Amino acid sequence: MKIDQNAKYLKSHEWTRKDGDAFVCGISDHAQKALGDIVYVDLPAPGKHYKKGSAFGVIESVKAASDLYMPMSGTIVSSNTDLADHTDIVNKDCYGAGWFIRFTADDPKEWDTLLSPLEYMKVSEKE
């Protein structure tokens, strides 16, 4: 299982990483492997605001559909429109080109409350 050492994680398998004054979010390598081939991703439009832990989108695979959860409270700056036609990018490069959203955080300190890479690895190994 690949872990991005520059990211922090949710128990629901989303990762987030600082990106200048904003944050980027996607799903972990563990999650994309568990889901299998991704066939559809529904992401929000820029300008939408979400609270930490609320669902911001949906991901569907050949096995299941799952909600995507906001790692921090904030406003969407952009969504990865490439995923509309190329959902396989998530399976190939979940920490790079397969990102889902870029957002500004209401409180950037919330990032410090997320799971560290080591904490996330321990959580995902139990599944």
Question: From the CB of residue 60, how many other CB atoms can be counted at a distance below 10 Å?
Answer: 15
Q: How many domains does the chain have?
A: 1
pLDDT at 49: 98
- Which range of residues forms the domain containing residue 45? 8-107
Q: Is 125 within a domain? A: no
What's the pLDDT tens digit per position in 25-76? 999 999 999 999 999 999 999 999 999 999 999 999 999 999 999 999 999 9
**Average pLDDT across the chain, whole number:** 96
CATH (domain of 75): 2.40.50.100
Q: Is 41 within a domain? A: yes
pTM, two decimals, is 0.95
